[in-house]
Amino acid sequence: MTSRRRIYVANRGEIALRIVEACERLGYETVLGVSSADRDTLAARRATRTVVLGGPRSGDSYLNQNAVIHAAMATGCDAVHPGYGFLSEKAGFAAACAENGLIFIGATPEQLEILGDKLSARAFAESVGVPVSPGGPTDTLEQAQELAARIGFPILVKAANGGGGRGMKLVHEAGELASAWQVASSEAAAAFGDGTVFLERFVKAAKHIEVQILGDAHGNCVHLGERECTLQFRYQKILEEAPSTALHPQDRARLHDYALKIGRGLSYRGLGTVEFLYDVETRQICFLEVNPRVQVEHPVTEAVTGVDLVREQILVAFGSALPFTQADIKLEGHAIELRLTAQDPDNGLRPTPGRLTRWRPSPIGGVRLDTHLYEGYLFPPYYDALMAKVIATGADRETALALAARAIDRLEVEGLITNRTLLARLLAHPDVVANTITTRWLEEEFAEGRLP
């Protein structure tokens, strides 16, 4: 065991660099495991040491649990930080870390088991008094048809062990159900190794609101306010903000209370995000799921609370108690995060990997940039399309929107197609400015190739 803490970073891209930087501020060493396609990232340059796990495909590197644990042990690491995606929500991986003397920087294996299955997460939410959308599991198409008739259309068919929009289908009427149920089940089986799906009533005028929670091993659990992530395309978030301006004050308090019921009911350890749908017409709140890890959009919460979430996540994993109480958490200002991606808005947001020939981020005060890019970087085709996160913070939403628009306008990026022009248009759109959008708004605007 080293005299100085050493953390293995089991991820890539901007979150890997974010973790490395947090460890540097704590005085910890880092070991970064990379694929052969990621030898030259900024995170690889910043980490204390870098080891190559295997080939460029995730299954040969970032998802290879044995290789990750072996690399962490062989380099004398005390702990493993999984970031988001990849192994971050795998209960078996968290358990394997513990079995090999490694601290898993995240929820416990038992908590991951409960939260990793959306059906068990729904059941747990109900058990602590948190409302869920009408719905339930369906083992056969006949069961799905019977349940759909009871809860009414439109409905969502959702993978029980999925995410990112895979294994999820919207069904408007009974005649569409059979095909949607079969396709969702097949997609879920292919993507997650489990074809179990369930039905959930679709909320038409929905806002996507999530609450950040943080717990330690000493029984403390706090919330750090909410984020709104309504601007999505095919269930992939594009813009996130904190706080939400769409909530009635009483509903904001209810959301925070529901999130704490789940966190405290689980004796939750680490960072977690409790996600809800909020019906702006009826003010109904419905539990969606818990993401037991750091989120892509965590910077907007950091911006309005002043709390370094990744730092606190690491410290509680090593046994520290939270250094603040709920009364200490104060939200100030408004923050907006834009996801800059290597995707083509004129071609259904399809991925556009390639060489980055020009990269000049906007030098504007009040704007944070989380990225692993540099000029000359070869953006690989093997992973997600996220290039950078642009986070603008202002005294209010109007100020933050204007600052975000200026930052995107002045960002210079060449060599591959990005969604920069789409982001600029969205920031100027009256519906976005007024925050009257719903989770399906952008897909409706994209219908038949239209751009908002």
Which residues participate in catalysis according to the annotation? 293
Nearest partner of 62 among 82, 40, 41, judged by Cα: 82
Residues 368/393, Cβ–Cβ less than 8 Å:
yes
Strand order in the sheet with 168-171: 135-138, 197-201, 155-159, 168-171
* Tokens matching residue 54: 């295997």
Task: Report CA dihedral (420, 426, 427, 430) to the nearest 10 degrees.
Answer: 160
How far lies 126's CA from each of 260, 276, 293, in Å? 14, 13, 22
What is the C-alpha separation between 21 and 187, in angstroms, rounded?
A: 37
Nearest partner of 199 among 263, 233, 152, judged by Cα: 152
* Tokens matching residue 324: 């603040």
Nearest partner of 290 among 276, 309, 310, judged by Cα: 276
What is the C-alpha separation between 188 and 185, in angstroms, rounded?
A: 5
Strands 334-341 and 135-138 come out as: unpaired
Nearest partner of 44 among 29, 27, 31, 60, judged by Cα: 31
How far lies 175's CA from each of 142, 178, 213, in Å? 13, 7, 41
Residues 345/422, Cβ–Cβ less than 8 Å:
yes
What are the respective helix, strand and coil percentages of the chain, to the nearest 5? Answer: 35, 25, 35
What is the C-alpha separation between 32 and 50, in angstroms, rounded?
A: 5
Q: Is 412 helix (H, G, I), strand (E, B) or coil?
A: strand
| 381 DSSP assignment | S
Cis peptide upstream of residue 154 (ω within 30 degrees of 0): yes
160-182: buried (b, 16+ CB within 10 Å) or exposed (e) per residue? Answer: bbbbeeebbbebeeeebbeebbb
How far lies 180's CA from each of 13, 49, 145, 331, 391, in Å? 34, 47, 11, 42, 37
Q: Is 96 helix (H, G, I), strand (E, B) or coil?
A: helix
Helix (H) or strand (E) holding 5: none
